[in-house]
Amino acid sequence: MGFLSYRSNTKTILAVLAALLVFALLVTVVGFHLLPEKTADKPDAFIGVDVGYGDANAIYNVSNAVSGYANLIIIGSTDVTANTTELTKVCDYLYQKGFYFIVYVGFGNGTVFPPTGPDSTFFQMANSRWGTKFLGAYIFDEAGGKQLDLPNRNPDRPAPIASNYSDVAMHYIIDVQTYLSLYKDVYYSVPQMKLFTSDYALYWYDYCSSYDVVFAEFLGNQSQNQLAASLDRGAAKSLDKEWGAILTFGPSPEEMSHVAAFENVNLYDEMLQAWQNDARYIVVFDAPGVNHTTTTPYGVLTTQDLNDMKNFWNYAQTHQRPELDPAQTAYVLPTDYGYGFRGPNDTIWGLWPADALTPKIWNDANNLLSTYGLNLDIVYETKTDSIPINLPYKTLIFWNSTTTHP
């Protein structure tokens, strides 16, 4: 994703932001339009594939393979999204086939502008050209994962240094939000456009950074998937956003964006788990053209995977959608406690080692999930720092062992 250091680049970022905001205002005044509101009905669930690599032909192949039992394609390959002419043809094709679609935008190559994505006018025409089939932009990915896993003081970390938990939360939000605003509001001049990303940690702070939808990365482990769902869904519900699941099945967080090992995974069960947890978006990650152990005309998608997708689609069409917001109980974490939830000794914000509270929170969360299953969300007691939030649950079980019934 390539975040620059907030501390070392603040003046540059703000100067660029101020200049380009003036430019964006002038452009708007002389006749460019914001994306118009659309009111057409959308499906209860968006089910499909993120084509993360490959050329336009790869997207055509995958979309043809899943046509009839998917309704969403994420155009995730920068080989396509950075070529506006080719991207427009791909979007036209998906539109004609009835797909909804999302366009990926990556960080600029060593500079803020231009981003690795379509030219500056593309998103201004997207909604008028493709209507509600165009859902928005997927800008960057795994900000939370980068915060946890990149080395100390790495400039690609959203918050590479901080003095305390609230300090790192504030700088994380400012850094991610600044770059999202530079691209969405300034370079593309589309402030109403919905923003998507995926992550495997710190979902709450992704939403606070102005993402509208965060896809929790499911990795083929049912219990870990449920933990991810409870964290992501809890953040989305509490912060009035949407959430989804992206089925990546990577062998490790560091590799999950580059390989998907489907061989030993029942894709149908993973999609069903996301559905039962009320995910609005259920996405399978694909990587055409990337070296992996399974080679098919569709990237890592095998014939069995395509059959699983078809069977799940048929299930979803013939079964009532699960009750919205199934969780009525929430486990409440300490303010700004950015624990990674990948084990009892995972780091806090990637900057501090596990403390005395970490194993307790890990055990509490897993014991409560064993009791409540998909009826449990995991949330924070404040939005961030001291900003209060109204948590919409019948029962709140706090990290300090107190329980309330608001």
Query: Within a domain: residue 71?
Result: yes
Helix (H, G, I), strand (E, B) or coil at 5: coil
Residues 157 and 203 in one domain: yes
Q: What mean pLDDT comes out for the span 366-389? A: 95
125 shares its domain with 153: yes
Measuring CA to CA, which residue among 287, 209, 207, 210 is closest to residue 246?
A: 287
Q: Is the pTM of this model over 0.85?
A: yes
In a domain, 124, yes or no: yes
Whether the per-residue pLDDT at 300 is higher than 50: the answer is: yes
pLDDT of residue 324: 66
pLDDT at 118 over 80: yes
Number of domains making up the chain? 2
CA geometry: angle at 213 spanning 341 and 39, to 5°?
160
Last residue of a domain, one of 273, 289, 318: 318
Q: What is the CATH number of the domain that holds 63?
A: 3.20.20.70
Q: What is the pLDDT of residues 198-231, one digit of tens each?
A: 999 999 999 999 999 999 999 888 999 999 999 9
Return the residue matching tokens 């999609």. 271
Would you list the DSSP string of 310-329?
HHHHHHHHHSPPPPSS---E
Residue 143 counted as domain residue: yes
Distance of alpha carbon 130 from its chain centroid, rounded? 23
**What domain range is 25 assigned to?**
6-318
Higher pLDDT, 386 or 58: 58
- Looking at the predicted structure, is the pLDDT value of residue 376 above 70? yes
pLDDT (mean) for 372-392: 94
Q: Are residues 247 and 289 in the same domain?
A: yes
- pLDDT digits 0-9 by tens, 5-27: 333 344 444 444 444 444 444 33
Evaluate whether residue 302 is within a structural domain: yes
- What are the structure tokens assigned to 41, written together? 């009905």
Question: Which of 168, 179, 178 lies closest to 202 in space, CA to CA?
Answer: 168
Same domain assignment for residues 261 and 362: no
Asked whether residue 174 carries a pLDDT value surpassing 50, the answer given is yes
Mean per-residue pLDDT of the chain: 87
Instruction: Note whether residue 1 is domain-resident.
Output: no
CA 160 to each of CA 2, 5, 85, 198, 265: distance values in angstroms, whole numbers, following the listed order: 12, 7, 37, 20, 35
**Residue 185: DSSP 8-state:** I
Spatial strand order of the sheet with 329-333 comes to: 376-380, 329-333, 395-398, 403-404
| Residue 137 CB-density burial (10 A; 0-12 exposed, 13-18 middle, 19+ buried) | buried
Residue 3's pLDDT band, with cuts at 50, 70 and 90, is low
Q: Looking at the domain assignment, is residue 324 inside a domain?
A: no
**39: in domain:** yes
Q: What is the predicted pLDDT for the residue at 385?
A: 87
3-state helix, strand, coil in the chain (%, to 5): 40, 15, 45
Task: Answer yes or no: do 201 and 230 share one domain.
Answer: yes
Q: Which of 294, 318, 342 is the last residue of a domain?
A: 318
pLDDT at 293: 56
| Residue 85 maps to a domain | yes
Among 318, 353, 382, give the residue marking a domain's end: 318
51 vs 26 pLDDT, higher one: 51
